[in-house]
Amino acid sequence: MYGNMAYSLHVGSNKNRKNSSRRTAKNNLSQTTSKSNNGIQSAQQLSKVDKHNYRKYDNDIQNRIVLKGTDSAYEDVKEFYKNYFEEARIEYNNKQTRNDRKIDDYFEYISNDLKKDLACELIIEIGDKEFWDNQDMKTKERMYNVYKEQIKDLEKLLPNFKTTSTVLHLDETSPHIHIVGVPVKEKNKYGMSKQVGKSDVFTRESLAKLQDQMRELAIIEFNTEYKTNYKLKEKQKGRNEDINVKDMKNYKHLKTHKELEQAVVDTNLTDQKNVNKGLDEIEDIIDNLDYNNGNYNLTSKDKEKIERFIKDTKYFMKHNEEVMEDLINHDTLINKVDLLETEVDNLSYDKDKWIDKYHKLEKENKDYKNTIDFLDGIVDRDKINLMKFLSTKINTGTSIEKATYKEVAKDLRRNKIFKSSEYQLCLKPIFDFNNHDIQQAIKNIEYENNKAVEEFDKLFTKSENENNEFII
């Protein structure tokens, strides 16, 4: 029995990155800000991606497989810039009269540009932790063949995204690939003829279309490789966009849960301080007890302190039990709310899908009706004009024209473009007639034709009967 598999295609986005934030990131040593952004803005960020993707931080090459490129995403991108943009850079520089406008190194130029990304990273993942936890390493390694096909699909579907390196990771929750590439735009009127163009290649529409196409191909390629018959889970809305933490589905629940936990911690710390203070007092009482004739003497004041400590400790323990119960109930409530929200999201998604489908069908129906009306108008008008033209040529032209155009009219009749009545109309001399005249003429011709057919049938039947009598 095969179930549904998860699929994820995530593209780095600058949606939440303002120019001021980008400028800050460019000027920081770390080249990062607290803003969410997965675009590769600079050479330094590309270097970090290189180290992560190729496991250069811990020198772990056992659990990664290179599908495309060398052992350096950094060098692969740099080499692409040199080969792809160099001719356009030289051409651009030759047109400049001022040296300060010339570009010496396009890779460095974009790396220092506050408005453009140097490269982009895509992450594709088929299956989730739950699925892959039960699979051995050999099974995971076979994803190499599936992801190899996914790269081909991506390059075919999005030719303006030039993939430079791809690495398969096998050491995390599920096998996935990191794709680094450069989005390009060509035939530019301003600046270099070839340029980096992330916003031109990755739009909301292109991403949605790309993910839909890649999803369909992914499950086919997976089932082909593993000889299975899995289906993909439904696509979750908004997965291709960066999401602010406050817009996350469970953010309010998590925030409430965190606040509750913090309140519990604060209260427990206060209670624990009181208990610890009581313990210190009890220790002092025990250390200072008077010993007399084999008995310890306890003052009434010390007795009150011990009783208070016992009372505070009991309260502390009871309060802890209540808090733990509240937290467990709160977790259960959050899970129920999550399930309800998931159902609501699914219903909302289905509703939006059907509404979109209805609007699409409505539009198609309207377009179809308009097209039919338009074509009917053209056919009627053009057929009338053609009939007038043939009638004129057949009745007023030269002998060659008469014979030629009469044959044309016959051919149109043979191919059922003209009805018999329309063909007959072409043979008669009709000048300056309008649509009403034609319709009336057609009716008359059809009436005459019907009468002629009836007469012919009668003669044919009579002749047939006479022949039969003769034979007998």
Which pLDDT does position 120 carry in this prediction?
A: 94
Judge if 307 and 271 occupy the same domain: yes
Judge if 283 and 412 occupy the same domain: no
Which pLDDT does position 35 carry in this prediction?
A: 39
Is position 382 within any domain? no
What distances in angstroms separate CA 16 from CA 19, 21, 200, 243, 334, one per listed residue?
10, 9, 17, 8, 29
Q: What is the pLDDT of residues 394-442, one digit of tens each?
A: 888 898 988 999 899 888 888 888 888 888 888 888 644 455 655 665 6
Is position 351 within any domain? yes
Which pLDDT does position 195 carry in this prediction?
A: 95
Judge if 239 and 275 occupy the same domain: no
Phi and psi torsions of 385, nearest 5°: -60, -40
Percent of the chain with pLDDT over 70: 66
Judge if 294 and 427 occupy the same domain: no
pLDDT of residue 459 exceeding 90 = no
DSSP labels for 135-186?
A: --HHHHHTHHHHHHHHHHHHHHH-TTEEEEEEEEE-SSSS-EEEEEEEEEE-
Place of tokens 């999401």: 243
Judge if 209 and 298 occupy the same domain: no
What's the chain's average pLDDT? Answer: 77
Judge if 316 and 419 occupy the same domain: no
201, 226, 244 - which closes a domain = 244
Q: What is the pLDDT of residues 375-400, one digit of tens each?
A: 455 456 777 788 888 888 888 889 89
222, 244, 266 - which closes a domain = 244
Is position 220 within any domain? yes
- Nearest in space to 290 (alpha carbons), one of 278, 302, 306, 308: 302
Whether residue 308 contacts residue 278, with contact meaning beta carbons closer than 8 Å, is answered with yes
Element (H, E) at 468: helix 435-471
Q: Which of the four pLDDT bands, split at 50, 70 and 90, describes residue 43? A: very high
Strands 4-5 and 290-292: what pairing? unpaired
Whether residue 233 contacts residue 256, with contact meaning beta carbons closer than 8 Å, is answered with no
Element (H, E) at 292: strand 290-292
CATH of the domain at 142: 3.30.930.30
Task: Provide the whole-model pTM.
Answer: 0.49
Percent of the chain with pLDDT over 90: 29
Is position 366 within any domain? no
Which pLDDT does position 190 carry in this prediction?
A: 87
- Helices marked H in 397-419 — which ranges? 399-414
Judge if 11 and 125 occupy the same domain: yes
Is position 102 within any domain? yes
Rg (CA), the chain: 42
- Nearest in space to 246 (alpha carbons), one of 237, 255, 238: 255
Q: Which domain holds residue 39?
A: 4-244
Judge if 204 and 82 occupy the same domain: yes
Is position 362 within any domain? no
Judge if 174 and 280 occupy the same domain: no
Is position 146 within any domain? yes
Residue 257's CB is within 10 A of a number of other CB atoms, namely 16
Show the CA angle centred on residue 146, arms to residues 142 and 152, nearest 5°.
140
Judge if 271 and 231 occupy the same domain: no
- Helices marked H in 95-132 — which ranges? 106-111, 129-132
Element (H, E) at 67: strand 64-68
CA distance 40 to 22: 11
Q: Number of structural domains, the chain?
A: 3
292, 327, 357 - which closes a domain = 357
Is position 373 within any domain? no
Judge if 134 and 181 occupy the same domain: yes
* Lowest pLDDT segment from 127-136, 197-206, 426-435, 437-446: 437-446
Judge if 223 and 311 occupy the same domain: no
CA distance 208 to 236: 11
- Nearest in space to 243 (alpha carbons), one of 33, 16, 12: 16
